[in-house]
Amino acid sequence: MGGMKKLINEPGDVVSEALRGMAAAHPDRLRVDHENRIVYRKDAPTPGKVGLISGGGSGHEPMHGGFVGLGMLDAACAGEVFTSPVPDQMMAATKEVDAGAGVLHIVKNYTGDVMNFEMAAELAAADAGTEVLSVVTNDDVAVQDSLYTAGRRGVGVTVLLEKIVGAAAEEGRSLQEVADLAKKVNDNGRSMGMALTSCTVPAAGKPTFELAENEMEVGIGIHGEPGRQRLPLAPAKDVAAMLVDPVVSDLPYQQGDSVIAFVNGMGGTPLIELYLMYNEVAQLLDRAGITIARNLVGNYITSLEMAGCSVTLLKVDDELVRLWDAPVNTPGLRWGA
C-alpha cells in the first residue's frame, strides 16, 4: 500500500475547510457557524415550527449537513471525521433553532452521539428553557453491539427519517407528534451494508482495515467497523441477497407490504453499480411480494471513499409516502421545491 491520496491540505483542517466550501457553494440555502461547526438552514428558526437537528462525525456526506434546508433539517452539527460532535455544539444549535415549538434531536445510535446529545438537551433546557425530545435511530441488522454502540447502529433509515419528519415539521405539527412520527419511521426501517474496500481517515493516513483483492466484508458499519463476516467476493445478485434477506426477515417484512427501498453507496462505488444493485434488490422484493412504493439510489450516507453499499427498507403507509413526496430543497436531496 502506498501513501494516502486525497484532495486535502492539512489532515487537521479537512472538516473546517469542507464547511467553508459548503457555505460558499450554498449561500442561498445555508449559513454556517464556523466557530461551532454548525450548518444552519438560512432562514432558521422558523416561527412556530419544530426545530430539527441532527449531527455526527464528518465523513458521511451528504449526511448530515447536506440535508439542511426546506423540508428536512434546521441544523446539523459536524464532528471531526467519524467523531461525535461535542455537547456545546449541539446546545448552541438547539437554542438557535428553537422557535417556540421545541426541538427534536435525531441521533444515530453511537455511544458518543447519544451521550453528547443528551447532555446538550439538558443544557439547553436549563439555559434557555428549550423543550427537547430525541429519537435514536438503530436500524442496522448486522450486529447487535459493536465497537461504537450498545445495541444496533443507526444507519440508512436516518436519511429517510430526516426527510419524512422534516415534511411533518414543515406542516406545523407539534413536537410530540413529530417525535412520535420519528419513532414510527425508525421502528419500521431496517438496513444492512457491505464493503469491497476500507476507507482511510485523513488523520490516520492508512486504511481502517485490510481487505484482500478477493474478499468483501458483509455487515459493516459506517465508520469502517468490521462486519458480520468476511467472505469471498461474489456476484452482485448474491451480494443483494446477503443484504436483503437479513433485512426482510428482521422486521419482518411480509407479502403485501409497501416499502421505500434505498440502495445507498458508501462513497467509492460508482452509480452504474448502485443501479445494478437496485435492479437485483427490486427483483428480490418482487419475488417476496413486497411492493416498492418509492426508492432512493445514490450516495447519501457514506463512509469517506469506502467502496460498497447498503440496503435500507422502510415499511410505509399512505401518510409516510405523502410526507416522502413533500417538497425538499437541500444540497443533498431535492424535489418538488
Distance (Å, rounded) from C-alpha 135 to C-alpha 109? 9
Average the pLDDT over 235-255 and give the result. Answer: 97
Active site residue 64: no
DSSP code, position 92? H
Average the pLDDT over 180-208 and give the result. Answer: 96
21-26 long-range contacts (CB < 8 A, ≥24 apart) are 22/65, 22/66, 22/331, 25/331, 26/331
As a whole number of Å, the end-to-end CA separation of the chain is 46
CATH topology classification for 189-335: Hypothetical Protein Tm841; Chain: A;domain 3 (3.30.1180)
What global pTM score does this model have? Answer: 0.97
DSSP code, position 39? E
Distance (Å, rounded) from C-alpha 334 to C-alpha 337? 7
Question: What are the start and end residues of each CATH 3.30.1180.20 domain in the chain?
Answer: 189-335
Assess whether pLDDT exceeds 70 at residue 147: no
The confidence score (pLDDT) of residue 236 equals: 98
| Grid cell locating 336 | 418538488
Residue 325 near residue 166, CB atoms below 8 Å: no
Given the residues 26, 34, 60, 64, the one annotated as active site: 60
φ, ψ dihedrals at 335, nearest 5°: -160, 160
Give the 3-state secondary structure of residue 80: strand
Question: What are the start and end residues of each CATH 3.40.50.10440 domain in the chain?
Answer: 13-188
Given the residues 26, 64, 105, 223, the one annotated as active site: 223
Distance (Å, rounded) from C-alpha 270 to C-alpha 120? 38
Active site residue 26: no
The overall average pLDDT reported for the chain is 96
pLDDT tens figures, 199-221: 999 999 999 999 999 999 999 98
pLDDT tens figures, 21-66: 999 999 999 999 999 999 999 999 999 999 999 999 999 999 999 9
Assess whether pLDDT exceeds 50 at residue 1: no
Assess whether pLDDT exceeds 90 at residue 225: no
pLDDT tens figures, 263-305: 999 999 999 999 999 999 999 999 999 999 999 999 999 999 9
pLDDT tens figures, 61-100: 999 999 999 999 999 999 999 999 999 999 999 999 999 9
Assess whether pLDDT exceeds 60 at residue 2: no
Q: How confident is the model at residue 148 (pLDDT cuts 50, 70, 90)?
A: low
Q: Measure CA 118 to chain center.
A: 19
Distance (Å, rounded) from C-alpha 98 to C-alpha 49? 8
Helices vs. strands in the chain: H and E counts, helices first = 8, 14
Cα distances from 234 to residues 65, 82, 213, 218, in angstroms, run 34, 29, 12, 11
Q: How confident is the model at residue 174 (pLDDT cuts 50, 70, 90)?
A: very high
Percent with pLDDT over 70 in the chain: 99
For the domain 13-188, what is the CATH code? Answer: 3.40.50.10440
Q: How confident is the model at residue 143 (pLDDT cuts 50, 70, 90)?
A: confident
